[in-house]
Structure formats: C-alpha cells, structure tokens
Amino acid sequence: MAEGVIAGLARHAYSRAPIEEISRAMITPERGVEGDCKGRFKPGGRNRRQVTLIERADWDKATAEIGIDLPWSARRANILVDGLDLPQVPGTVLRIGDVRLMVMVECDPCSRMDALAPGLQAALSLDWRGGVCTRVLSGGDIAIGDTIEVEMVMETVG
C-alpha cells in the first residue's frame, strides 16, 4: 500500500482570509477541516472540495520552475503531503487514521496564484500539481506527522 506523511495543515476562516497553519485538525463530514470555510457539506451539492491536498514535491517543482520561494500554504490547500504521489483517479479513497477522504477532482489553480507570482498558475496546472479536492467519508483528528495512505479505488464517484 502506498503511503506518505502529513507535512502541513492549514485552514482559512472565510473566503480570502489569511491562511492559518495549524499542527492538528478535526475533520468532519459536515464541515471538512474544522474552522475552514470551504468544507461545509451542502445538501444537494456535489461537495467535491471539502478538503484539499497538495504534494510537497509538486509545490516545490512548480515554485522552482518560476524561481520563487513561497510557503506551501500560499496554495491555500488544507493538507501538505510528503512522500506520497496523490492519486489522479476520482473515487480513490485516502486514509489518515480514522479519516477517509475520497478524491473527487483535480484542484485547479486559480488566477490568485498568478497574483502571488506570475506563472505560478500555469506551473501548478501541469499533471495535477495543484493537488486534489476530496469529499470526507469519515472524520477524526489528524496531525502533522500522521501517515496518509491510499486505501482503495471506489467504483463510482457520486
């Protein structure tokens, strides 16, 4: 089974709020990362973006390509993963302890990335470097240093 480690956690309280890097987080199916504005479950919605993850290696490649040094949290993702190639297959389930996250879609970088550094949006657009958006299947507490693993590939994404 492929596995990596949680190298960073972050959240933002409201749209365009400053990013807060944290050492622990509660993940719930109702709210995603507790205290993050993007994870609230919307009845009848697709709920494709409850928790976002990015690989450290992808962030490092993208920033190196354009010659900048920015903290990973500038990407505004919730979880920084080290040592695991995040699956690019919708329906794949990731496990962090009791937390189960289903990959829904690629986390497309927006124009806000170019506001940070010209060319960052394009650098993150290659090969899912912007990360993955997930739906919370089951919740729990997670912390920096926890193991993250690919659990399985589901049959369908709903």
SS3 149: strand
For residues 11 and 79, give the distance between their C-alpha atoms in angstroms, rounded to a whole number.
9
> Which of 152, 98, 157, 145 minimizes the C-alpha distance to 4?
145
Name the percent of the chain lying above pLDDT 70.
96
Distance CA 133, CA 49 (A): 5
Determine what percent of the chain is predicted with pLDDT higher than 90: 76
Q: Where are the beta strands (DSSP E) in 34-113?
A: 51-55, 79-82, 92-96, 99-106
pLDDT digits (tens, 9 = 90+) for 90-140: 999 999 999 999 999 999 888 888 888 999 899 999 899 999 999 999 999
- 24 within a domain of the structure (yes/no): yes
What pLDDT does residue 156 have?
54
Q: List the domain range (segments joined by +) for residue 127.
A: 3-153
Q: So what's the pLDDT on residue 152?
A: 80
Q: Which of 1-15, 36-50, 122-136 has the lowest mean pLDDT?
A: 36-50
pLDDT above 60: residue 17: yes
End-to-end CA distance of the chain: 25
| Region for residue 67 given its phi and psi (left: phi exceeds 0; alpha: psi -120 to 50; beta: otherwise) | left
Whether 158 maps to a domain, the answer reads no
How many CA atoms within 13 Å lie on the side-chain side of 7?
Answer: 17
How would you classify residue 83: left for phi > 0, otherwise alpha for psi between -120 and 50, otherwise beta? left
CATH of the domain at 111: 2.40.33.20
- How many domains are contained in the chain? 1
In this prediction the pTM is 0.91
Residues 11-18 have a mean pLDDT of 90
pLDDT of 60 over the 70 cut:
yes
